[in-house]
Amino acid sequence: MAETYPWKLAWITGASGAICSEVTKRLAADGVTVAATARSADKLAALAAANDRIKAYPADVLEPDALKAIVAGIESALGPIGLALFGAGMYAPFDIRNIDLDGFHRTMALNVDGVINGVAAVLPSMLQRKSGHIAIMGSLFGYSGWPGNGSYGASKAALINLAESLKLDLEGTGIDITIVNPGFVDTPLNASYDQKKKLYVISADKCARRILAKLGDKPYEIAFPSKVEGFLKTVRSLPRSLSFPLIRWFTRQTEQP
């Protein structure tokens, strides 16, 4: 049975990635027109070939003027954007013995600047219409520091704070904000992360289904899996004298053989 969503048109960045490509295909299959953005025109063309409701709009999210032009083109051709889902992102390993500065800076740029560039492009027309839904792909690991996760975790912590600020600023405007915080997802993005430290890993397909099961209700937050969510939210609120030992204990208990 097809799902019913509150948007006629969605704009998704990072649409060629493992999670967002699944979200794109599922939305299109259920009748939502999706304007798909990513850097690779070839990958977008392959994605669009799967369903005529998927329209390819290649762009680099690090180019704000290009995103503004993309939004203008989408709304001129397809109508007002009901949902903007910002999912472009990357993971870079973080080794304290040899810190990859280039990887850190690229992670912060793509994961944070790429989101705010998209928000800045789509928000003016939403504010004018007093209607719209912005969703940001964060991560549970933005709630707390995690071993070997200095670059990615820092970028996702910034997104959680950004979403909280937007939520407060946009109250009464008719625009909804959702922060989507999954745990570890089996994607090429985090393939280099220590396999023994990946907790409760789920597939990209299952991740997309969990997101879409709730996103249409426009909640502020979607977070899963519940065990990792509950643990990280708890340690976030504890004194650091307790939270750091708990995280070390938790990672040892859940390491896979």
Confidence band for 257, pLDDT divided at 50, 70 and 90 = very low
Query: Is residue 190 scored above 80 in pLDDT?
Result: no
Q: Give the type of residue at 237.
A: S
Q: For the segment 229-254, what is each residue's pLDDT rounded down to a tens digit?
A: 888 899 889 998 999 999 888 777 65
Q: Is 150 exposed, middle or buried (0-12, 13-18, 19+ CB in 10 A)?
A: buried
Taking residues 130-153, what's their average pLDDT? 93
| 71 — pLDDT class (breaks 50, 70, 90) | very high
pLDDT at 196 over 80: no
Full-model pTM: 0.91
- Of residues 65 and 248, the one with the higher pLDDT is 65
Q: What is the pLDDT of residue 9?
A: 98
What residues pair up with 36 in beta bridges, in sequence order? 12, 56
Lowest mean pLDDT among 34-48, 132-146, 161-175, 183-197: 183-197
The answer to whether residues 19 and 185 touch, using CB atoms and an 8 Å cutoff, is yes
User: What pLDDT shows up at residue 3?
Assistant: 77
Q: What is the pLDDT of residues 205-221, one digit of tens each?
A: 999 999 999 999 999 99
Strands 221-224 and 202-203: unpaired
Confidence at residue 216, expressed as pLDDT on a 0 to 100 scale: 97
Across all residues in the chain, what is the average pLDDT? 92
What is the pLDDT, as a whole number, of residue 203? 87
Q: CA–CA separation, 221 vs 177, rounded Å?
A: 8
CATH 3.40.50.720 applies to domain 9-254:
yes
DSSP H/E element including 167: helix 150-169
**What CA–CA distance (Å, rounded) separates 178 from 14?**
17
Q: Give the tens place of pLDDT for each residue, 6-60.
A: 999 999 999 999 999 999 999 999 999 999 999 999 999 999 999 999 999 999 9
Please check whether residue 216 is in contact with residue 175, taking contact to mean a CB–CB distance below 8 angstroms.
no
DSSP letters spanning 192-234? TS-GGG--S-EEHHHHHHHHHHHHTT--SEEEE-HHHHHHHHH
Rounded average pLDDT over 117-125: 98
pLDDT at 69 > cutoff 50: yes
CA separation for the pair 244, 238 (Å, rounded): 9
pLDDT of residue 147: 85
